């Protein structure tokens, strides 16, 4: 859960800041700093200390960085049809696999929906939106931040996107990958994880409506990978401010367990720009991971909390142990999307079947089994 520490609307050098700490079983494990650009203001992300007079938690992250941190990631999440019903009890919406997220020092998923009750459906096939209780469900599952750089955040137009941004701020829940303008959309999310400075950049590489949904200086939108100059600059800016840089992507071909050339080329460019970890979702199937030089890349995390039929029910949580910028241990906790839409863990023959698929998928990634640089 999050406890507010400071004033989320306090403006410092044109940037809004939110201070929060993650507590689990009574222990403060994480301090999260979310930087959102003030509309029309200067949007340079910075590290800040709490405002004078702010309530200070009794335990803060150590000034000495931890030697290792654990990060957890899962794929696409939304709340519609059968998963909307789960918000009747948001504290348990994610089911048993939430434990894998809560146990990590930092956990993140892709929020595949607008959070709004307004707006006009856009000219596309699928439209997802959720009530603000989605943030309670995310927080209760131990999720610390979400990417909203995907092909559903603007399902209900700019009104829906602006409602999503406003409701996230009101809930004190960190989102990344969209904004009121170009500068804000590409801003890294800056987080202190047990004394280790972590930056997350989120972008979409989905072509559908990308021209209409990209941000401009005066139009809200989501950060797009197609603008290579802006994508590179965002990762380079994150590199200057953080010990660990994560790039969370929405990419791939739906139904394909192999990355295409566009994904591979972009991964190489972001690795060169300074990304330590790259991962993402969108294909609705699991893809595999490995190392591109010293960068750990996982091409696809599949569906996690999902409303209905899809290309696959294979799911899971990717857990990474990071030491001195390097991913030194990886674990994929195998699951499946159940009849409730919740992910549940698998064992035995069902688990082995998915691991066999992942082993096959690894052969088309072009990635190494260990760091090579």
**Is there a domain that residue 345 lies in?**
yes
**Total count of domains within the chain:** 1
Reduce the secondary structure of the chain to three states and give it as a string: CEEECCCCCCEECCEEEEEEEEEECCEEEEEEEEEEECCCCCCCCCCCCCCCCCCCCCCCCCCCCCCCEEEEEEEEECCCHHHCHHHHCHHHCCHHHHHHHHCCCEEEEEECCEECCCCCCCCCCCCCEECCHHHHHHHHCCCCEEECCCCCCCCCHHHHHHHHHHHHHHHCCCEECEECCHHHHCCCEEEEECCEEEEEEEEECCCCCHHHHCCCCCCCEECECCCHHHHHHHHHHHHHHCCEEEEEEECCCCCCCCCCHHHHHHHHHHHHHCCCEEEEECCCCECCEEEECCEEEECCECEEECCCCCCCCEEEEEEEEEECCEEEEEEEEEEEECCCCCEEECCHHHHHHHHHHHHHHHCCCCCECCCCC
Q: Is residue 37 part of a domain?
A: no
Least confident among 54-68, 287-301, 331-345: 54-68
- Domain membership of residue 86 (yes or no) is yes
pLDDT tens, 206-258? 999 999 999 999 999 999 999 999 999 999 999 999 999 999 999 999 999 99
* Domain assignment present for 155: yes
The per-residue pLDDT for range 18-77, each reduced to its tens digit, is 333 343 333 333 333 333 333 333 344 433 333 333 232 233 344 588 999 999 999 999
Q: Is the pLDDT of residue 135 over 90?
A: yes
Q: What is the pLDDT of residue 63?
A: 57
Q: Does 290 have pLDDT greater than 50?
A: yes
* Residue 64, pLDDT score: 84
pLDDT digits (tens, 9 = 90+) for 262-278: 999 999 999 999 999 99
More confident residue, 3 or 309: 309
15 pLDDT above the threshold of 90: no
- Domain-embedded: residue 36: no
In a domain, 212, yes or no: yes
pLDDT, tens digit, for every residue of 326-335? 999 999 999 9
Give the CATH number of the domain where residue 122 resides.
3.60.21.10
State the pTM of this model. Answer: 0.86
The answer to whether position 370 is within a domain reads no
* The pLDDT of residue 98: 98
Q: Which domain holds residue 113?
A: 65-362
| Comparison of pLDDT for 345 and 15, the residue scoring more | 345
Of the two residues 358 and 62, the one the predictor is more confident about is 358
pLDDT of 29 reads 33
Q: Is 46 domain-assigned? A: no
Q: What integer best gives the mean pLDDT of the chain? A: 86
In tens, the pLDDT along 100-110 reads 999 999 999 99
């Amino acid at each position: 859960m999050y406890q507010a520490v400071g004033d989320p609307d306090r403006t410092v050098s044109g940037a809004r800041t939110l201070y929060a700490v993650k507590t689990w079983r009574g222990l403060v494990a994480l301090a999260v700093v979310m930087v959102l650009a003030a509309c029309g203001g200067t949007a340079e992300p910075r590290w800040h200390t709490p405002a004078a007079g702010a309530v200070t938690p009794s335990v803060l992250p150590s000034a000495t960085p931890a030697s290792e941190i654990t990060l957890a990631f899962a794929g696409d999440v939304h709340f519609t049809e059968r998963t909307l019903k789960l918000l009747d009890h948001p504290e348990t919406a994610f089911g048993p696999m939430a434990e894998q997220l809560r146990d990590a020092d930092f956990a993140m998923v892709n929020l595949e929906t607008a959070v709004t009750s307004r707006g006009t459906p856009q000219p596309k096939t699928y439209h997802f939106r959720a009530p603000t209780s989605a943030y309670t469900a995310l927080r209760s599952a131990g999720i610390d931040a979400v990417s909203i750089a995907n092909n559903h955040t603007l399902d209900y137009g700019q009104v829906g996107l602006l409602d999503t941004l406003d409701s996230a701020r009101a809930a004190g829940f960190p989102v990344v990958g969209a904004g009121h303008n170009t500068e804000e959309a590409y801003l890294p999310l800056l987080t202190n994880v047990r004394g280790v400075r972590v930056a997350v950049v989120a972008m979409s590489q989905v072509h559908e409506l990308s021209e209409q949904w990209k941000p401009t200086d005066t139009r809200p939108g989501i950060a797009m990978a197609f603008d290579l100059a802006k994508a590179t600059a965002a990762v380079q800016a994150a590199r200057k401010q953080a010990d660990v840089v994560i790039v969370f992507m929405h990419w791939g071909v739906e139904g394909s367990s192999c990355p295409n050339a566009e994904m591979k080329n972009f991964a190489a460019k972001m690795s060169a720009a300074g990304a330590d970890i790259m991962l993402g979702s969108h294909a609705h199937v699991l893809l595999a991971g490995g190392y591109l030089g010293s960068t750990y890349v996982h091409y696809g995390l599949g569906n996690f909390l999902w409303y209905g039929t899809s290309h696959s029910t294979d799911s899971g949580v990717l857990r990474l142990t990071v030491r001195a910028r390097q991913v030194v241990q990886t674990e994929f906790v195998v699951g499946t999307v159940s009849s409730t839409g919740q992910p549940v863990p698998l064992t035995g023959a069902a688990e082995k079947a998915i691991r066999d698929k992942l082993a096959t998928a690894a052969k088309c990634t072009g990635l190494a089994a260990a760091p090579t640089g």
